[in-house]
Amino acid sequence: MSEVVMHRVDDRLIHGQVIVGWVGLRNVSAIWIVDDFVATNTMMLNIFKFAAPPGIKLVAMTIDEASERLKKLDEGKDRILLIAKVPQTLVRLMEMGYMPDDVNFGAMAHKPNSVKVGSQTELTPEEAEAAEKLYQAGAHVWILLVPHGGQKTVEWEDARKKFNFD
């Protein structure tokens, strides 16, 4: 049976920190990029396939495709790192019947109206609202770029105060 061993929100998707830090720590055998644009853009998909380490399966799929595949985890033996560019993707999956139990936020670049919630992690009000929906649904939501390097984990329970969630 396959299992999602990490749900990550990172607007860079696949990059060195993900590969070096999380793939080894979580013993990942497959990376699923869930992003409607990347899944339908051959050039972007090829770039990400080049960035994936040897021996790691890389698949990009739309949100609808991911929702269907997540219903069939019993058909494989992969340890999956599911990566999305924005937390709204995970909220959409949740609305389609899949509940991520644990959501890690990595790098999220500065954007207009964004608020810094962690080292190199800034969320817009819309992204924060999505994180809050995941949190309220029971997901453990936390912020940490890499597993090694001395950074402290920021729990959503603390970060959410910056957006005045009660």
Summarised one tens digit per residue, pLDDT across range 91-137 is 999 999 999 999 999 999 999 999 999 989 999 999 999 999 999 99
Q: What is the DSSP letter of 34?
A: E
Where residue 16 falls among pLDDT bands split at 50, 70, 90?
A: confident
pTM of the complete model: 0.94
Highest mean pLDDT among 36-50, 63-77, 145-159: 63-77
Section 15-38 average pLDDT:
88
In the predicted structure, residue 52 carries a pLDDT above the cut 90: no
Rounded distance, CA 62 to CA 64, Å? 5
**Domains of the chain, start order:** 3-163 (3.40.35.10)
Section 6-22 average pLDDT:
85
